[in-house]
Amino acid sequence: MKIVLAQPRGFCAGVIRAVETVELALEQFGAPVYVRHEIVHNQHVVQDLRDKGALFVEELDEIPRSAVTIFSAHGVGKDVEDQARHQGLQVLDATCPLVSKVHNQGRQYAARGYQVILIGEPDHPEVIGTLGQIPAPVVVIRTEAQVAALTFAQDTSLAYITQTTLSVDDTHSLVEMLKRRYPKIIGPDTRDICYAVQNRQTAVRELCRKVDVVLVIGSPKSANSVTLRDIAEEAGTPSYLIADGGSVRRGWFDDKSSIGITAGASTPEAMVEDVLDTLKRIFPLEIENLPGREEHVHFRLPDGLIARQ
């Protein structure tokens, strides 16, 4: 069986920063450290950090006063930041800098008097955090039907921002529809969608041109992993979203001669190796790497941490 590995795949700079934040906090302050929400959407990453002494909670009320507390890569609202200060928590903010950029964009638009429209999944932690960072009403949309249902007058000052982990194509189509309905609307270029998301989406499209079936390794909670699976399906290539090698099913590969493998931005490379080990037990493998964009982005650690030497 021919295996083609997408490039790039797996961990992005924001996830590396978030995971390293928890690991360094455990090294420098000792266990336990508390993490609000899953640090990233991957059960293997979360369990590994839990085994090292991290305690994951959904609400700050679950955290003892003055404890070391980490905000996840998805970001939080101002109310969460205020509550953390009130409880005297020692906060390390692992919010991805690209998510923080969206927060800043939204606040700036609101301060200039624009009605802000946020393109994103309303229940996603990143969107919830972004809504909590903008001190003004924000309308969340995700579909063309929701764009069509907007009732703003043509002279309304409108601006849009986007969740970082959406499909570039989907976002572009919604932005273009907004511009047709409201020609004066302003907003960032769709290239402001996370660079890592764009790179992985480009790679999976190329992968689909070379293989019979695609495996996307990631969590169903991970928006960017789900999007990779959807892109492959839309390209006409059977695609499966799996957590690890234990999710692989032999019947997926009947009459297939090649498998493409990619991984979401919160998926460790160890899970790619786990899937390859499973496939090796099914049939001999011929593995090749798909040429693709190399990533050299590095984000500074949150204040309060000392980087490893």
126 part of the active site: yes
Residue-wise pLDDT for 151-163, tens only, equals 999 999 999 999 9
| 12 labeled binding residue | yes
Considering only the C-alpha atoms of the chain, give the largest distance between any 2 of them, rounded to a whole number of Å.
64
pLDDT score of 155: 95
**From 126, 234, 273, 288, active-site residue:** 126
Amino acid letter, 210: K
Phi, then psi, of 204 in degrees rounded to 5: -70, -30
Domains and CATH numbers, the chain: 2-11+195-289 (3.40.1010.20), 13-96 (3.40.50.11270), 98-192 (3.40.1010.20)
| 164 labeled binding residue | yes
Q: Is the pLDDT of residue 238 over 70?
A: yes
| 227 labeled binding residue | no
Residue-wise pLDDT for 168-208, tens only, equals 888 899 999 999 999 999 998 766 678 888 899 999 999 99
Residue-wise pLDDT for 131-158, tens only, equals 999 999 999 999 999 999 999 999 999 9
| 100 labeled binding residue | no
Amino acid letter, 79: D
| 208 labeled binding residue | no
| 96 labeled binding residue | yes
pLDDT score of 190: 66
What the block records as the tokens of 60 is 């700050």
Contact 213, 256 (CB under 8 A): yes
Q: Is the pLDDT of residue 32 over 80?
A: yes
Mean pLDDT of the chain: 95
